[in-house]
Structure 1
Amino acid sequence: MNATTHPRADIAAFAAAVRAELDDLPADEVDDLLDGLEADLSEQAEDSGEAFSLPDAATYAAELRAAAGLPERNGRAVKVPVRERLERARHAAATRIRASRFGSGTLDLLVSLRPVWWIARGVAFYLLLVFLTAPFMGRADYVPTNVVAWAILAALVLLSIQWGRGKWLPHRSIRGLRSVLNVAATIVAAIALIAAPTVLPQYFAAQAAYAYAYPGDTSQPGLVLDGERVRNIYAYDAEGNPLENVQLYTDQGTPLTTVGTEGRANGWWWDEYFLGGGGPVTTAYEGTGRSPLWNVFPLREATGVSTWDVDTAIPVLPRAPFAQVPAVPAQPDAGSEPTPTPTLGAGTGTDTAPLPEPAPETEVTP
């Protein structure tokens, strides 16, 4: 016969001692508490070999009472903190799982994978942070897209790993907070794991479509010259004097603006590119009862303007870069021909001027 059918003598004695410690309880409760105890201990002894040892029977019985919420042997109720109850329940569950060879191996595997969970928990913290800040950021990038986002993700993963190792913030005062964060991270990780097969392909497809529609577009909006954004345009007449309220159009009849199609389509009154910083901010020409005119130059400008005080800013006509420029030199019309200058002796017939004849000689009278 094997050890499962005939438990070892020390295990049988231990079970009897525990039952004796619980003899003040109803028999059915004792049977429930000790159900399968000898069989479990026998399997543990077989798996552990010489390393197996039995605990103290009185202590073990007291733990069974506390885990079940039963009164002590003297009749007083056992007041056990919730955390300690959970810890005892976890220990009891681990003991039952390790009762079989398969359960023991599975539990050992899960314990060895704890570092993987630490990393996943840090990622879950990052996803939770992205979700909470999405209403303020106006977007939700669940995959980091810049150096700052990658740094935040790395910091949260490092924090999770150090928590798991018990190196950072191990104080009892924050264990409750850590428990709440662990529960939140577990829920987020579970949701992310379930949604990943659907959400991630859609996310990367959207990113690829955006990259295809705008392949490396690093150009500036509005009017650009040699890669630099044009803020304003100044016109001079033929005499070199500056002009005001000059309307400019393209060869297609489209108003020539510095804010481009976006500014005209959205009805901008201020150039939002420069409104974010970078010097004076130009504003559209305010015609009476008209929509903003962005092709009337030079544009009015205001300095020190931000999005907070744009409504109270007073734009003024800026000073031209030159008080006067060289006048445009006159040139002949393309359809006219210059009048030739006649020359003596050139040509034949009537076009040639007659040469003067010498005066007649006179006879001298003595």
Structure 2
Amino acid sequence: MSDKPTAVRVYLARVRTALADLPASEIEEILEDVRPHLTELEAELGEGARVEALIERLGTPESYAAELRASGGYPPAAEGATTVLTAAPASPSRVKPRIALWGLILCAVALALLAFGAAVSVNPDVLAGLLVVAPVFLISLVLLLRGGVEPVLALPELAWLRGSLTKVREQEDGGKFLGYLGSLKPAWWVLCALALLAFGVLLMLRDRDAVLLLPFLLLAGVAIVWAGPRVRADRRLLWVAVPVSAFVIGGSLGGFGAAVDLISNRNVYQSASSYYPSSSDPYGNDQLSYGGQSIGNVYAFDAEGKPLTEVYLYDEEGRPITLTRYACERSSGTKEKIGSDNRFPRPRIQQGVTDDQGNFDGYNGYRSACREDPNVPFSAAIPKVTTPPTASPTTPPSPSAPSSTSAPTAPSTTTPTR
């Protein structure tokens, strides 16, 4: 794209000069309103239109600026006003306006982060950080109301921002993009209110105490719907629109992240093993570990020391402890994976060779072989749990039955425990 100024840029520059005695924010609003009309007129005149063509249609930029003053209710420019303005004394201190501006920016960033954290974790307690943000916002708002919005809009930071936006608007693609965003403004304020309501409902589903936040979110929604369309007429309302918009953007991003995380975790839980193993074998299959060593099988015994079969293992949350199951592939004589389950114990898979008498040898012999051994390779000595006898209370002899006449008690016999 050529850097040569277009007819619209030259014309608007002269209009800006003619309006130089007005506040900077008012000048930007006036130019923003008339720029689309001038752009359309330039397109109508054809490519390469000159400033003279615009002057023929609209009059000189100075007369056009005078018409804009009259239509906007501004006083006419006094003669030598520009000279007086340039000779004006130094501007007052920018400390308070800068605090007001950057206080708003910091609050907007903090609100976005808090909303993001609360939404992604679905935890209303994260919003307790608003207690830290509130004093900063109140200080910024008080300085704005006391000093007015004009000193804030006159700060170099905002002047640079307006200049950058002006350059973007003057570019074909950038102008279309900003114009598109501007067309979404009416819907954006309503969308913010709906997003705030949905955010409150989401938090209440997780924690009923979050119902206390709902009135504040509703109030913010009403405020943004009322203040949003009026921002261009009263820039002080930016102190409402910017924080609420930042909160909505942060909460939306956090809610999107929480939804993605929920869907991914659900898919992993449904498709992967329900038990999270601590290690895997060289083939990437699930394994258990105990004492730093891998466990490929589990044997269970009853109180008498007899091995149990068809035992199904679960963890404390009812999830099956699923491991890879192997078996012998008869045709190839190799160990093959056949699936996974939580049934124990598994047959031991022995690979190697056997001689003609069937003796298994892993190194010497005549042919390859794979053998499944269902036997338990060891015996378990289950310790006996003994319960100490409970002493029974002694019953005193009855007066009506003297002990001297009582029959002798037969001795008791005890059967040894096997």
Q: TM-score, normalised by structure 2?
A: 0.26
Radius of gyration: which is bigger?
Answer: 1
The one of the two structures with greater contact order (alpha-carbon pairs below 8 A, sep at least 6) is: 2
Structure with more helix by fraction? 2
